[in-house]
Amino acid sequence: MDRLQFYIDGAWVDPAAPRTLEVSNPATQEAFARISLGSRADVDRAAGAARRAFPGYAATSVEQRLEWLRRIIAGFRARLPELARMMTLEMGAPITFSTERQATVALFHFEEAERVLAGFPFEERMGVGIVRREPIGVCGLITPWNWPLNQVASKVAPALATGCTVVLKPSEIAPLSSMLFADIVHEAGLPAGVFNLVNGDGPTVGEAIAAHPEIDMVSFTGSTAAGIRVAKLAADTVKRVAQELGGKSANIILPDADIRAAVKAGVLACNTNAGQNCQSPTRMLVPRAQRDIAFEAAREAIAAIRLGDPLDPATTMGPLVSQMQYDKVQALIQSGLDEGATLVAGGTGRPEGLAHGYYVRPTVFGDVTPDMRIAREEIFGPVLSILCYDDEEEAIAIANDTPFGLAGFVQSPDLDRARRVANGIRAGRVYLNGALFDRSLPFGGYKQSGNGREFGIFGFEEYLEVKAIL
C-alpha cells in the first residue's frame, strides 16, 4: 500500500526529497505500507498552490461550492467501507466502530457544512452599514491519528465551504485514510490548488505550516504541548490559530442517578476507541456513600469488553496506536498503583491471549485523589479514575480542578439539577445523561484545551473574516 506522493496543485506529485516512513498495523506490529515524509520545500509548493488558487476559489458562488461539497459527499459515501477498513488497519479501531463512528461521523461534517452553507448570510445590513463575511484565505490544517478522518473533515469541510484553500497535514501515524480522502476530493473536480496534502512529521511539516507566511490560519488538533508550539510559530505572522487540545473530562454522577447504570455507561464511554479520545470521561465522580456499588458496576462493565482482532466485527476494543502510546499508558497505570489508588479492574501488562499488538488491559482505579497523576494527566488510553465526593459543590470543584476544559458529563434524572451542575463546569461541551453526539453544536475547549470551536455554524465561522462597509 505504498503512497509515496503528495497531492499538490491538483495532482499527485513526488516529494522534493525522498524520505520514507513505514506505516504499521497496531494489531500486528507489522508494517503494511510506506509514505513519504515531506520537507519545508513541499510545504512551500503546497502553500504557493493554495495561494494562487485562493482568489478564484473565494469568488465562486455558493451554488458552485455546494455542488463540489455534494460530489465529495457522494464519493465519501461510495467509499465509506474502504475508508473504514483503512482506519482499522492504520490505527486499530474495531471495524464496526470504524464504519459506524469513525467514517460515518467524518461524513457528517461534510453534510453539516453543506447545510450551513446553503443558508448562511455572508452579507447583512447592520445599522447604517453592511457586514460581510469573507473567507480568511489559505488554511493550514494539522490533524491527529486518533480520529483520522473525523478531524480532517471537521476542518476541511468548513474551510472549503467558506471559500478558503487548504494545506492539510494528516498524522504520519495514520495517514492512509486521508490519502484516500484526497482521491475523493480530486474526483469531485475542485480547481487545482484548492486542496493540498503533504505528509510529514510535526517538527518538520507541521512547524513549516504553522510558520509559513503564505498561510493565513492554522487549525490544529493534538496535544497541549504541541498546540503551544504551533501558536508560538504562528505569532510571527499574526495568523489566526484554532486549537482543539487535551482533555481530562469529569463525569459527575449525582446521588439521584441510577448508580449502576450510570457507572456502566461511563466505563464504556471511557473505553470507546480504546480510550484514545480527547473528551473521554476519564474522571468519574461518585457519591462517597455509593463507592462500593460503583466499583462492582465498573468491574461488570469491564468484563463485557471484548478485545481482539479489530477486523473481527465482534471485537469491541482494539489495540492502542503505537509502541509509544502503549508505553505511556503502562507507565501511568503503574503510577496509579505506586500512588496508592485501589485497582478495581485491569492493571499493567497485556490482556490474556494477546501476545502481539499494542493491546492494554482496560483499567479502573478507585479511591483516586485529585493530586494523583492518573487524575491530572491525559492518559489517552482505557484507564478510568473513580473519585468520591460528599456534596454537589465539592463535585463541581473537583471537576474544575484541572488545567483542561474540553468536556464534562452529568448524570441525574432531575434535569434542572443536572443543568445547574453543568453550568458550573468550566468546559466547552457538557453532556447530560448520555446525550448523543450532535454535529451541529460547537465543540472546543476552555483553558488549556484550546481556543476556537469546530462543528456546525461555529466551526464554519472560524474560517471567515468580518468586514464592515459603511
Q: Which residues are catalytic?
A: 244, 278
Residue 261 corresponds to which cell in the numbers above? 447504570
What's phi and psi for 388, nearest 5 deg? -105, 150
Residue 177 corresponds to which cell in the numbers above? 485514510
Strands 450-451 and 240-244: antiparallel
In angstroms, rounded to a whole number, what is the distance separating the alpha carbons of residues 160 and 69?
A: 8
Are 280 and 249 contacting, i.e. CB atoms less than 8 angstroms apart?
Answer: yes
Q: List all residues 6 or more positions away from 72 whose beta carbon is below 8 Å from its beta carbon.
A: 110, 160, 184, 185, 188
In angstroms, rounded to a whole number, what is the distance separating the alpha carbons of residues 334 and 197?
A: 39
Which ranges constitute the DSSP H helices of 304-391? 323-338, 373-376
Half-sphere exposure of residue 186: CA atoms within 13 angstroms, side-chain side? 15
- Across-strand partners of 154? none
In angstroms, rounded to a whole number, what is the distance separating the alpha carbons of residues 356 and 42?
A: 36
- Across-strand partners of 430? 408
Torsion of CA 260, 265, 270, 273, to 10 degrees: 150
- With CA atoms as reference, report the closest residue to 169 among 203, 216, 214: 203
Task: Give Dmax over CA atoms of the chain in angstroms.
Answer: 72
Q: List all residues 6 or more positions away from 180 whose beta carbon is below 8 Å from its beta carbon.
A: 79, 82, 83, 86
In angstroms, rounded to a whole number, what is the distance separating the alpha carbons of residues 363 and 255?
A: 24
Are 95 and 193 contacting, i.e. CB atoms less than 8 angstroms apart?
Answer: no
- With CA atoms as reference, report the closest residue to 393 among 254, 266, 290: 254
- With CA atoms as reference, report the closest residue to 149 among 119, 89, 113, 105: 105
Residue 172 CA to its chain's centroid (Å):
15
Burial of 55 (0-12, 13-18, 19+ CB in 10 A): exposed
The identity of residue 324, as a single letter, is M
In angstroms, rounded to a whole number, what is the distance separating the alpha carbons of residues 81 and 276?
A: 22
